[in-house]
Amino acid sequence: MNKILCVFLLSVMSSGCTGMLPSVKKTTESPWQHFEDAKKAFDKIEPQKTTHEDLKKLGFDPFEVPNVKLITYLDLLKIFLPNDSILMEDIDPGVRSCLEARDICHGYEVTPNRLNTKRFGNVFLDLLNFRRKQITEGWKFYALIVLKNGLVVHKLWGGEPKIAEIEDKRNPLGPFQNMDKILPSIKIN
């Protein structure tokens, strides 16, 4: 029985069974499953034509759809005029007229994403904190929609259509590498 257990442990340590390592799936809830879906919905928005009701149908409604942030004209001021070197005359005319209207000006900030993180490599080295390797894949979308009195006057988008990040963390001291975080600090008076 001991021989079988030893053979099993040696095979696990040498094979690097990644199925035994933890993984994380991080999703910001939204109606879009892919970056392209969010972009297609965003592309249907037309400044000076699309209304608040149209935005609801497209999935951009902060009161019904999770993770659509409603922002005030004061937040928009910080976004479009972040410092004194940018003047009101420098920004888009639609945004300018909206900011000057104050109370009837607001925006939607939309930030859906899907990220999957998986650890891979040698289970033994990972569990003992000598070497941890992980890969993060997915996408992030960002949109800013500016509305004046219920009518879209400006829109911006950006994001990361394809994320692929690999992290390879090595700790020569293994489980003793971060002992200061594990043990409370001892003070001598």
Chain centre to alpha carbon of residue 27: 8
How far apart are the C-alpha atoms of 17 and 139, rounded to whole Å?
27
pTM, to two decimals: 0.73
Distance between start and end Cα atoms, the chain: 53
For the chain, 189 residues long, the average pLDDT of each consecutive 10-residue run is 62 57 70 93 97 94 90 95 91 95 95 88 80 89 96 96 90 73 56
pLDDT score at 14: 54
Tell me which residue has tokens 């999935």.
59
pLDDT score at 48: 96
How far apart are the C-alpha atoms of 172 and 169, rounded to whole Å?
10
Q: Which helix (H) or strand (E) segment is 3 a member of? A: helix 2-15
Domain ranges of the chain: 16-175
